A and B are shown apart, each in its own frame.
Chain A
């Protein structure tokens, strides 16, 4: 299975800050990389697919980049509703695998 590793595991930031979360794949996944946001008691919400494309309705303050084995999710001008847990996921090979998650907390 492809291993996905996120860093950091947790992050404290303030409203208005810019944050970056990193995701690394154990092998080349080209751009088959997605990002999800999850709030407590809710299903993950798709944010980004194909490494950099935003799903419909996702605010433009979210952006993704990278290819191969290294990827980033950047959120500029953090809003109160952005504090959540974020997961990356590869979908080039089954079984699909997720990163362990990055918990974004209010400072």
Chain B
């Protein structure tokens, strides 16, 4: 059973780069049918899909955020990461790492507990 655990800085200053990591256990990031995803939730708001990366390194970013995002995979450590540049207060949110299973229409079937990111000076 795959489990995910996010880690992040908690507090980031405006204009800096946010780096988040998701450790994967109980499964391999090299599994062909899994897409590794980031989703965020602004305080008191709904859910926003951000980006994915798959086992071959293919990526897709939400167009409105694409210029500031880089998602990557570390197969040696079995984790994936997200970097977001030039953060502002609007990036304050809980960030979830999520496994999408493309193998059987299962969708976003495993979620990490989330990590809170606050952008403030």
| Chain A residues at the B interface, C-beta cutoff of 8 Å | 31-32, 34, 36, 42-46, 49-50, 53, 55, 87, 89, 91, 94-101
Other than the given A50-B105, A94-B49, 20 more pairs (CB < 8 A) read: A31-B105, A32-B105, A34-B108, A36-B47, A42-B113, A43-B112, A43-B113, A44-B111, A46-B108, A46-B109, A46-B110, A49-B105, A55-B106, A87-B46, A89-B47, A94-B60, A95-B60, A96-B49, A97-B49, A98-B49
CB < 8 Å neighbour of B46 from A31, A96, A100: A100
Q: How many A-B residue pairs have CB under 8 A?
A: 58
Sample (28) of A-B pairs whose CB atoms are under 8 Å apart:
A31-B105, A32-B105, A32-B107, A36-B47, A42-B113, A43-B96, A44-B96, A45-B111, A46-B107, A46-B111, A49-B105, A49-B106, A50-B105, A50-B106, A50-B107, A87-B47, A89-B108, A91-B100, A91-B108, A94-B52, A94-B60, A95-B49, A95-B50, A95-B60, A95-B62, A98-B47, A100-B46, A101-B46
Q: Are B106 and A99 in contact (CB under 8 A)?
A: no
Footprint of A on B, CB under 8 Å?
46-50, 52, 60, 62-63, 96, 100, 105-114
State the majority secondary structure of interface residues on A.
Answer: loop
Residues from chain B with Cβ under 8 Å of A91 in the complex: 100, 107-108
CA distance A91 to B112 in the complex (A): 19
